[in-house]
Amino acid sequence: MARNVTELVYRQRLPTRLTHWAWAVCLFFLLLSGLQIFMARPDLYIGQQSGFAFDNAILSIGATMDGATMKARTVLFGHSFDTTGWLGAIWEDGDLQPKTFPSWLTIPGYRDLATGRVVHFFFAWGLVFVLALWLVASLANGHVRDLVPSRRDWRGLPRDVLDHLRLRLSHGRRYGALQKLSYALILFLVLPLMILTGLTMSPGFNAFMPWTLDLFGGRQTARTLHFLLMLVLVGFTAVHLAMVLLAGPFNELRSMITGWYRADPESER
């Protein structure tokens, strides 16, 4: 007779748990310090060059004066949008300030490019170290295999996607097909590309590995890709947190703190 009771299983090994929380800290400081750096030049370009003499900007955020009134204007692929109050011109202390992002969204909260760069580079190298540590540990303990979708996973992927869209979330002993695919893309594609595009923006790294400029189509294109990858990570994090809340935050957090997860034996696929 089938068992209908759940059981505790040891799902997350210690290196996985430690690196998970280390990533969370690194990515938090990278995001807010990165936005501080972006404020120094709130424009994105495609190609090697940038500036007023070139028409290769795909995003531009700024503020202008319309008489005595300040207005923010964001231009995306040639289309202009009024973003007064939340992007480009921010309400602070009761007045509109010509600032790309609100203070609570940057580190530090005031304009300080030098400090933003120090914080960003510190946690960027921290991310590199944590990713390398996770890879070595995961290869050693076999966790990498848990993230590689099998043929069975690929066959079941459409059903798993529909289940998530319908909020029918399972509590299996192992990752589901959609979990494996999303985690693998982030860990093996998005994060390495984030690191490599960040390094490509460094003239010193360009001198060491000039082929990266050709790979990404120029330093400005690398900067744009770096920004877009940041948006992908923010979107992934938002969906990840939503799934944790919907699947049962106590069970999910216990898994990432103690390693023990309450699973339904019948949901294992």
pLDDT per position as a tens digit, 212-233: 999 998 899 999 999 999 999 9
Around Cβ 160, how many Cβ atoms within 10 Å? 19
Residue 261 contacts residue 251 (beta carbons within 8 Å): yes
Domain end marker among 77, 100, 123: 100
Lowest mean pLDDT among 120-129, 148-157, 221-230, 234-243: 148-157
Domain end marker among 83, 100, 117: 100
How long is the chain?
A: 269
80 vs 93: which has the higher pLDDT: 80
Residues 68 and 164 in one domain: no
Question: For 17-23, which contacts have Cβ atoms below 8 Å and span 24 or more sequence positions?
Answer: 17/256, 17/257, 17/259, 19/130, 19/131, 19/133, 19/134, 19/137, 20/256, 21/256, 22/126, 22/130, 23/127, 23/130, 23/131
Residues 244 and 189 in one domain: yes
Residue 243 contacts residue 237 (beta carbons within 8 Å): no
Residues 34 and 54 in one domain: no
Q: What is the structure's pLDDT at 206? A: 87
Residue 245 contacts residue 251 (beta carbons within 8 Å): no
Around Cβ 111, how many Cβ atoms within 10 Å? 14
The sheet with strand 69-76 has its strands ordered as: 43-45, 57-66, 69-76, 79-82
Q: What is the structure's pLDDT at 49? A: 61
Residues 128 and 87 in one domain: no
Average pLDDT, the chain: 89
Task: Report the 3 state secondary structure along 173-188.
Answer: CCCCHHHHHHHHHHHH
The number of folded domains in the chain is 2
CA dist 182 and 162 (Å) reads 15
Q: What is the structure's pLDDT at 266? A: 56
Q: How far apart are the first and last CA of the chain?
A: 18
Residue 170 contacts residue 265 (beta carbons within 8 Å): no
Residues 124 and 190 in one domain: yes
| The two three-digit tokens of residue 202, written as one number | 């460094």
Residues 27 and 75 in one domain: no
Residues 86 and 206 in one domain: no
CA dist 73 and 64 (Å) reads 7
Q: What is the structure's pLDDT at 140? A: 94
| The two three-digit tokens of residue 26, written as one number | 């690194």
Q: What is the structure's pLDDT at 2? A: 46
Question: Does 231 reside within a domain?
Answer: yes
CATH of the domain at 22: 1.20.950.20
Q: What is the structure's pLDDT at 267? A: 47
- Whole-model pTM: value is 0.88
Residues 110 and 87 in one domain: no
pLDDT tens for residues 237-246? 999 999 999 9
